[in-house]
Amino acid sequence: MSAVLTKSKKFLFTSESVGEGHPDKLCDQISDAILDRCLELDPNAHVACETFATTNFILVGGEIGFQNPAVNLADFKAEVEQIARSVALDIGYNSHDVGLDGANCVFENRLHAQSADINQGVVGTGLAEYEGQQGAGDQGMMFGFACNETPSLMPAPIHYSHQILLKAHELRHSGKIAWLRPDAKGQVTVEYDGFKPVRIDTVVVSHQHAPDVDYATIKDTIINQIIKPVLEPTGLLTADTKYFINPTGKFVIGGPDGDAGLTGRKIIVDTYGGMGRHGGGAFSGKDPSKVDRSAAYMARYIAKNIVAANLAERAEVELAYAIGVPFPVSVMIETFGTEKVDIARIERAVKKVFDCTPAGISRTLDLRRPIYRKTASYGHFGREGFPWEQTDKADALNREANA
């Protein structure tokens, strides 16, 4: 059990978010845009796509296996360059001056066909005992988390970090703050009394900007037009809240020109900001046969429904799998002493209400659709519109847990 999550005294907890133009997030979005196109062509495609970006350069690699024989990998590979360039341009990387010229940078494609050894385990043609059953695309453990600190049932520090950068995203794309550039990071430190957020202690925002804007304008604008409109309604800001805005004093050089980017390097930003455990597997660029992604979504779905059902104030769910095996090897529920009914009843209800097989997860959450690029920035959890954020199983969980 996490030491932080069992504290009964006051403590500070910090989480960070990054903007869509962060180099790692650029790479996540390219990988997921490629995945989306694969699923448009073949909903059963197997994809593990990685992207790397640095000064004037984007590299895409990994494996793709189309299950539909009518879809040709060579033909698809011809589309990949345009997909990658379009993502970069959509974000705002349209000039070397802002960190990357998406239209003209060097591009390299190293995608190849999926390993037949992996494919046979996933499609159920491997071991005879699992013949015809969809197996997990990899081994590993995945965690989901939910708590009642915010309306989204997400921890407050990561929730507010995302909200601040989403506000900056809105103002940049609308042109209302014309000097903002794509790269950005945010961080929020919350003071807790037990499990209750009581005060925002510190806010950090580092946002790339045009070279002709002075620091005083940057600081005032980010505090008064971005941070405070998001955080004042929470009632958690105080006169003692500290603000650190572009603490180096200058952030003109950004994007892949300022720091290399790589798919899957922001897994804590993608999940719960460190409040809750992580199995280690990244999400972006992976189709739902990869339980690194799909089982993490299912674990969040289960945890959120436990909290929404008022069976516990906090819930963490672990699912674990073996490659090629068509069922989880373990299911664990942790409620950190906040459960309202016996935890054994919650575990029994979860196992009855949720189908945690790889095939059942994809079916329950309708995952074989091109929905993934929009997950790749500002968090995979806590935002409406994703099927794993629904609380439609809360009533069923309540009935089973109290039966």
Compute the distance between CA of residue 155 and CA of residue 161 in angstroms, rounded to an integer.
10
- Contacts (Cβ under 8 Å, ≥6 apart) of 12: 189, 190, 191, 192, 201
Structure letter (DSSP) for residue 5: G
Write out the catalytic residue numbers: 22, 24-25, 50, 63, 185, 251, 259-260, 265-266, 286, 290, 292
Compute the distance between CA of residue 225 and CA of residue 239 in angstroms, rounded to an integer.
18
3-state secondary structure 54-96: ECCEEEEEEEEECCCCCCCHHHHHHHHHHHHHHHHHHHCCEEH
Identify whether the C-beta of residue 24 lies closer than 8 Å to the C-beta of residue 265: yes
- Contacts (Cβ under 8 Å, ≥6 apart) of 386: 297, 371, 375, 380
Ramachandran sector of residue 379 (left: φ over 0; alpha: ψ -120 to 50; beta: rest): left
Identify whether the C-beta of residue 314 lies closer than 8 Å to the C-beta of residue 338: yes
Identify whether the C-beta of residue 195 lies closer than 8 Å to the C-beta of residue 314: yes
Identify whether the C-beta of residue 36 lies closer than 8 Å to the C-beta of residue 86: no
Write the single-letter amino acid at 153: L
The order of strands in the sheet holding 57-65 is 106-113, 57-65, 46-54, 261-262
* Phi, psi values for residue 372, rounded to 5°: -95, -30
Q: Which helix (H) or strand (E) holds 14?
A: strand 10-18
- Contacts (Cβ under 8 Å, ≥6 apart) of 261: 22, 23, 24, 25, 26, 27, 51, 52, 53, 54
Identify whether the C-beta of residue 119 lies closer than 8 Å to the C-beta of residue 112: no
